Amino acid sequence: MCLEWGVALSGHYFIRTDFGPSMDNEFKPGKLSLLTILISSMMILMGGAAVAPALPDIGQAFPEFDSIFINLIITMPSLAIVVSGLAMGILADRIGKVKVLVMALAIFGVSGLSGFFLEDLMLILVGRFGVGVGIAGIVCCTTALIAEYYVGMERKKVLGYQAAAMGIGGLILELAGGVLADFGWHYPFLIYGIGLLMVFSALISLKEPSPSGGADIDVSAFQVPKNAGAIRAFCYAAAFFIMLFMFTFPSKLPEYMEANLESSPAITGLMLGVLGTSSAAVSMSHKAISGVLDEMTILTSGFISVGVSGLFFLLEPSYATVAPSAVFMGLGLGLVTPSVLTMLAETSTPATSGKIMGGYSTFINLGQFLSTFVIAAFIGVYGGLTDSVFFTIISMAFAVAVLSLLVKLKLSRM
Write out the DSSP string of 59-100.
HHH-TTS-HHHHHHHHHHHHHHHHHHHHHHHHHHHHH-HHHH
The CATH code of the domain at 28-206 is: 1.20.1250.20
Whether 212 and 396 have beta carbons less than 8 Å apart is answered as: no
Answer whether 163's CB lies under 8 Å from 334's CB: yes
> Which pLDDT score, from 0 to 100, does residue 24 have?
44
Contact 48, 78 (CB under 8 A): yes
Counting every residue written for the chain, the total comes to 414
What is the rounded (10 degree) CA torsion for 345, 349, 350, 352?
-90
Are the C-beta atoms of 244 and 371 separated by less than 8 Å?
yes
Question: What per-residue confidence (pLDDT) applies to 213?
Answer: 37
Domain positions in the chain? 28-206, 225-347+383-414
What is the full per-residue pLDDT of the chain (414 aa) written as tens digits? 333 223 333 333 333 333 333 444 456 888 999 999 999 988 887 776 678 778 788 888 998 888 778 878 888 888 899 999 899 999 999 999 999 999 999 999 999 999 999 999 999 999 999 999 999 999 899 988 998 888 888 888 998 888 888 877 767 776 787 788 888 899 989 989 999 999 999 999 999 876 433 333 344 445 666 778 888 999 999 999 998 888 776 667 767 777 788 776 667 767 777 887 888 888 888 888 988 888 899 999 999 999 998 888 888 888 888 889 889 988 998 899 889 988 998 888 888 888 898 889 889 888 888 887 888 888 888 887 778 888 888 899 999 999 888 888 877 776
CA atoms 94, 368, 38, 175: torsion sign? positive
Phi, psi of 8 (to 5 degrees): -70, 125
- How many helices (H) and strands (E) in the chain? 14, 2
**Bridge partners of 224?**
9
Task: State the pLDDT at residue 1.
Answer: 33
